[in-house]
């Protein structure tokens, strides 16, 4: 079975006025298609750094990140932008929707960047927003939506370009427990029904419980890797 | 993308409105100033053509240089039929024109004496419209003169005063004759009014009993000045023995003023936009800083640098552009009003008249000048966007996203 992500001896060292911080320390990890994996660990253990490296928005100090056979550490800045656009969906802790666009326009925006035709954007964004239960709020701006609703729109946006996998850095950190649970149910549903690979970091034990694989980081290295479901 | 840029501008409506109003005011002040100056210059040109030069003049080749009484136009019988073929001709006037001296009981003054056929001249120039006392010349009344108000004051003469005209004849002898002032005109150009005196051909002919009619100048009025250079070129080719000149060639300083207005607008608007650019750059920099995290997100999800650059550039140009459109629209209204009411500069009239300028100014702004402003905005908008856009591009997605 071939993995869609393979990390080989991945290391990220931050240097800041003489101080060195080894944020990710020689990590080896494989992720298969269709996984629903949580990255957990205490604050400062390197979760965000690892996800940024996986998502190609940060460059490692050494090691390889192989996505579907391509070593993305060798890509140039602009190749990486294009790679992210077509292969990776992002969900951020603080939603990060474009405030001046409606929920639907936010979902369509990535497809617009991909130069997809208007009809396709229209169809897919409606489909996705319906799937996450926001069909009625499609034309609302983010400020008119609750945090949970905004994060669901963010998930829809991440899925819109049909990425190979979705990265979510603490997607529930800003949500109340009910919204967090609801978001996780939707992610799980998308994972099961459409075989979408999710990799998310979290502090929240209830969120961890939903994961089918839990990778625990400690001081930048993998402390534990358990398949639960 | 354009729609997104437009929406982005209105994230901070107060800030955008302030900059928009500043741009509108800048555009209005620059445009109205230009229009005002244009109005003054165009009025001067219209007056010069209507009262003084007409559109085209023909002289003997040596006349303008020497102004000798013997420098008369040759082959008039060949010229006149040619003039009649000009389709947009209004009229032409054949003139005797020479230096002369006018003396009153109190004073005397060097003048330019112009001998005219009153009927032809009336069709060609507007001098008859500017009579302030007495009447326009007529062939019936003997030895009458039409003089400018300024000259009348200088010589301390009134209507019906007796004056003596002294000039050289074709052989260089001085001749004098008594005339009476039958009319006083005021064109508003004191330099002209002080110098130019009109008499009838009829009376001039009597001064030169043994010469044929002496014609020094043919003034040609066209229906529209836009045909001037075209016909002047044609006449120059057809009349190699004569000196054909347009009003621009005769009054180069007036022509220069007209050309200068275009540069003036460019310079003035450039200065205004330069000043406004600082405000724009500042506004856009603030907009970029405030959106650091959002820009990081856009880069993370795969928005190319060129697209981000484009977005910031569009925002800057649209912000400047909308201020300009509002400004130009208000300018248009202001100029429509002012060009019918006019601006009365009566308090400065004396100084203006000395420069040949009129006291009533009707501002004019040409389409070309509106377009020039828009072009300038596009350039200024693009240049102003470079600094904020560069700032946006310097962000790296991972660091931008970390910002709270
Ligand atoms: N840009 C940076 N410059 C310097 N040090 C950094 C930078 N980013 C992260 N670090 C350091 O790297 C380590 C890992 O940080 P990271 O943000 O990945 O941890 P985390 O597990 O996501 O923590 P949290 O749970 O608080 O979000 C920390 O010690 C952090 O201080
Ligand atoms: Mg983190």
Answer yes or no: is pLDDT of B151 > 80. Answer: yes
Residue A216 φ/ψ, nearest 5 degrees: -100, 125
Expressed in angstroms, the distance from the first to the final Cα of chain A is 18
| Owning domain of residue A191 | 3-95+164-227
Residue A30 Cβ inside 6 Å of ligand 1? The answer reads: no
User: Is-above-0.90 flag for pTM?
Assistant: no
Domain with residue A216: its CATH number is 3.40.50.300
B354 pLDDT more than 90: no
Alpha helices by DSSP H, B71-130: 76-84, 118-124
Determine what percent of chain B is predicted with pLDDT higher than 90.
54
For residue B127, the model assigns a pLDDT of 93
- The predicted pLDDT at position A33 comes to 94
User: By C-alpha distance, which of B360, B355, B364 is closest to B262?
Assistant: B364
Q: Would you say residue A182 lies in a domain?
A: yes
CA proximity to A171, closest of A158, A189, A162: A158
Are B297 and A55 in contact (CB < 8 Å)? Answer: no
Instruction: Judge whether B58 and B220 are in contact, CB under 8 Å.
Output: yes
Query: Is A122 within the bounds of a domain?
Result: no
Shortest Cα–Cα distance, A228 to chain B (Å): 30
* Cβ neighbourhood burial of B261 (10 Å; 0-12, 13-18, 19+): buried
Taking CA atoms, what residue in A is nearest to B294?
A96
Report the residue of A12, A91, A98 to disrupt the B interface, i.e. the one with the largest count of B CBs within 10 Å: A98
Phi, psi of B306 (to 5 degrees): -60, -35
How far does residue B288's CA lie from ligand 2's centre (Å)? 24
CA distance A217 to chain B (A): 20
Q: B292 to chain A nearest CA, in Å?
A: 11
- Determine the distance separating the centroid of ligand 2 and the alpha carbon of B302, expressed in angstroms: 21
Q: Which residues of B84-103 are buried (b: 16+ CB within 10 A; e: fewer)?
A: eebeebebbbbbbbbebbbb
Residue A22 lies in a domain: yes
Residues from chain B that touch A58, judged by Cβ atoms under 8 A, are 396-398
| A104 inside domain | no
CA contacts within 13 A on the Cβ side of B44? 26
State the nearest Cα–Cα gap between B319 and chain A, in angstroms.
Answer: 16
List chain B residues with CB under 8 Å of A96. 293-294, 297, 401
Q: How far apart are the first and last CA of chain B?
A: 26
SS3 call for B301: coil
Whether B304 and A86 lie within 8 Å, measured CB to CB: no
Q: Which candidate from B4, B10, B398 shows the least CB-CB separation from A58?
A: B398
Asked if the Cβ–Cβ distance from B401 to A99 is below 8 Å, we say no
Cross-chain residue pair A84–B305, CB shorter than 8 Å: no
Distance between CA atoms of residues B300 and A48, nearest Å: 14
A54 Cβ inside 6 Å of ligand 1: no
Q: What is the pLDDT of residues B179-213, one digit of tens each?
A: 999 999 999 888 899 999 999 998 998 888 877 77
Q: Residue B401: pLDDT band by 50, 70, 90 thresholds? A: confident
Mean pLDDT of A160-178: 93
* A9 within some domain: yes
Residue of A nearest to B403 (CA): A94
| The ligand 1 atom nearest the CA atom of A24 | 14
**Alpha-carbon distances of B41 from A163, B47, B155, rounded to whole Å:** 67, 10, 31
To test the pocket of ligand 1, the residue of A47, A93, A199 to mutate (highest count of ligand atoms within 8 Å of its CB) is: A47
Residue with CA closest to ligand 1 atom 24: A43
CA-only gyration radius of chain A, Å = 17
Cβ contact, residue pair A57, B301, below 8 Å: no
Inter-chain Cβ pairs, chain A and chain B, closer than 8 A = 65
**Helix A118-131 × helix A147-159 angle, to 10°:** 130
Distances in Å between the Cα of B267 and the Cα atoms of A109, A195, B263 are 42, 65, 6
d(CA A46, CA A24): 6
Residues B375, B380: Cα–Cα separation, whole Å: 9
* Alpha helix ranges (H) inside B48-170: 63-66, 76-84, 118-124, 149-155
Give the residue-averaged pLDDT of B254-272.
83
Q: Is residue A72 part of a domain?
A: yes
Q: What is the Rg, in whole angstroms, of the alpha carbon atoms belonging to chain B?
A: 31
- Residue A86 has a CB neighbour count (10 Å cut-off) of 15
**A57 Cβ under 8 Å from any chain B Cβ:** yes
- The Cα-based distances of A186 to A142, A145, A149, B104 in angstroms read 19, 17, 11, 109
Kindly state whether A96 is in contact with chain B, defined as any CB-CB distance less than 8 angstroms: yes
Is the CA virtual torsion A151, A156, A157, A159 positive or negative?
A: positive
Give the bridge partners for A65, in sequence order: A7
**Rounded alpha-carbon distances, angstroms, from residue B304 to A73, A82, A85, B153, B180:** 18, 7, 9, 78, 87
Query: In this predicted model, what pLDDT tens digit does every residue of B72-99 receive, in sequence order?
Result: 898 888 889 988 888 889 999 999 999 9
Judged against a pLDDT cut of 70, whether residue B404 lies above it is answered with: no
DSSP B49: I
- Average pLDDT over chain B reads 89
Cβ contact, residue pair B302, A99, below 8 Å: no
Residue-averaged pLDDT of chain A: 93
- Segment A63-67 shows an average pLDDT of 95
Whose CA is closest to atom 28 on ligand 1? A44
pLDDT of residue B140: 84
Give the closest of A94, A99, A110 to B302, CB-based.
A110
Helices (H) and strands (E) in chain A, counts: 7, 10
Asked whether the predicted pLDDT for residue B1 surpasses 90, the reply is no
DSSP B133: E
Residue A218 to residue A221: CA distance in whole angstroms:
6
How close A104 gets to chain B, by Cα (Å)? 14
Around Cβ B73, how many Cβ atoms within 10 Å?
22
pLDDT at B400: 87
In a domain, A138, yes or no: no
Q: Is the pLDDT score of B372 beyond 60?
A: yes
C-alpha B88: how far from chain center: 22
pLDDT for res A1 = 53
How many structural domains compose chain A? 1
% of residues, chain B, pLDDT over 70: 96
Does A100 reach chain B within 8 Å, measured CB to CB?
A: yes
Flag whether pLDDT at B308 surpasses 60. yes
Residue A169 C-alpha to ligand 2 middle, in angstroms?
7
Residue B300 and residue A55: Cβ atoms within 8 Å?
yes
- A128 part of a folded domain: no
Q: Which residue has the tokens 């702004």?
A: B365
For ligand 1, atom 25: residue with the closest CA: A43
pLDDT at position B339: 86
Q: Which residue has the CA at smallest separation from atom 16 of ligand 1?
A: A46
Percentage of chain A lying above the pLDDT 90 cut: 88
CB contact under 8 A, B302 and A85: yes
Distance from C-alpha of B4 to C-alpha of B298, rounded to nearest angstrom? 13
């Amino acid at each position: 079975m071939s993995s869609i992500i393979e990390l080989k001896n991945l290391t990220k060292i931050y240097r800041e006025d003489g101080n060195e911080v080894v944020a990710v320390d020689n990590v080896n990890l494989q992720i298969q298609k269709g996984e629903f994996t949580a990255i957990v660990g205490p604050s400062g253990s390197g979760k965000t750094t690892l996800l940024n490296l996986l998502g190609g928005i940060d460059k490692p100090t050494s090691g390889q990140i192989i996505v579907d056979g391509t070593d993305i550490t060798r890509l140039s800045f602009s190749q990486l932008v294009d790679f992210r656009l077509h292969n990776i969906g992002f969900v951020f802790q603080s939603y990060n929707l474009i405030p001046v666009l409606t929920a639907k326009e936010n979902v369509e925006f990535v497809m617009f960047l991909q130069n997809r035709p208007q009809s396709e954007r229209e169809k897919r964004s409606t489909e996705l927003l319906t799937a996450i239960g926001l069909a009625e709020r499609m034309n609302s701006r983010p400020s008119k939506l609750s945090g949970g609703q905004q994060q669901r729109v963010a998930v829809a946006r991440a899925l819109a370009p049909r990425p190979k996998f979705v990265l979510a850095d603490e997607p529930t950190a800003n949500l109340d427990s009910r919204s967090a649970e609801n978001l996780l149910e939707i992610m799980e549903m998308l994972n099961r029904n459409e075989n979408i690979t999710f990799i998310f970091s979290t502090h929240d034990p209830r969120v961890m419980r939903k994961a089918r694989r839990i990778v625990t980081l400690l001081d930048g290295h993998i402390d534990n890797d358990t398949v639960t479901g | 993308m354009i729609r997104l840029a437009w929406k982005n501008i209105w994230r901070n409506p107060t800030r955008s409105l302030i900059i928009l109003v500043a741009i509108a005011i800048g555009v209005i002040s620059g445009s109205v100033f230009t229009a005002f100056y244009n109005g003054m210059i165009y009025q001067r040109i219209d007056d010069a053509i209507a009262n003084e030069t007409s559109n085209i003049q023909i002289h003997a080749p040596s006349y303008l240089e020497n102004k000798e009484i013997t420098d008369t136009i040759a082959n008039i019988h060949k010229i006149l039929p040619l003039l009649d073929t000009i389709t947009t001709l209004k009229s032409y006037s054949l003139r005797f024109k020479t230096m002369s001296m006018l003396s009153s009981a109190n004073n005397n003054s060097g003048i330019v004496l112009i001998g005219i056929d009153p009927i032809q001249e009336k069709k060609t120039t507007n001098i008859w419209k500017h009579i302030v006392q007495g009447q326009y010349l007529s062939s019936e009344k003997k030895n009458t003169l039409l003089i400018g108000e300024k000259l009348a004051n200088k010589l301390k003469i009134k209507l019906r005063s007796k004056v003596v005209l002294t000039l050289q004849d074709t052989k260089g002898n001085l001749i004098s004759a008594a005339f009476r002032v039958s009319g006083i005109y005021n064109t508003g150009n004191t330099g002209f009014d002080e110098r130019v005196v009109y008499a009838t051909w009829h009376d001039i002919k009597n001064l030169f009993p043994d010469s044929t009619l002496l014609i020094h100048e043919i003034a040609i009025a066209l229906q529209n000045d836009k045909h001037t250079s075209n016909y002047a070129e044609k006449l120059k080719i057809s009349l190699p023995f004569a000196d054909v000149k347009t009003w621009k060639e005769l009054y180069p300083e007036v022509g220069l003023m007209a050309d200068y207005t275009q540069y003036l607008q460019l310079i003035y608007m450039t200065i205004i936009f330069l000043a406004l650019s600082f405000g724009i750059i500042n506004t856009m920099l603030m907009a970029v800083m405030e959106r650091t995290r959002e820009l990081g997100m856009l880069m993370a999800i795969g928005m190319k640098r060129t697209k981000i650059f484009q977005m910031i550039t569009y925002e800057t140009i649209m912000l400047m552009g909308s201020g300009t459109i509002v400004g130009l629209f208000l300018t248009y209204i202001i100029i429509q009003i002012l060009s019918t009411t006019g601006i009365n500069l009566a308090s400065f009239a004396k100084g203006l008249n000395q420069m040949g300028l009129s006291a009533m100014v009707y501002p004019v702004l040409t389409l070309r000048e509106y377009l020039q402003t828009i072009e300038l905005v596009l350039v200024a908008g693009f240049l102003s966007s470079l600094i904020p856009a560069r700032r946006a591009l310097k962000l790296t997605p991972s660091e931008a996203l970390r910002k709270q």
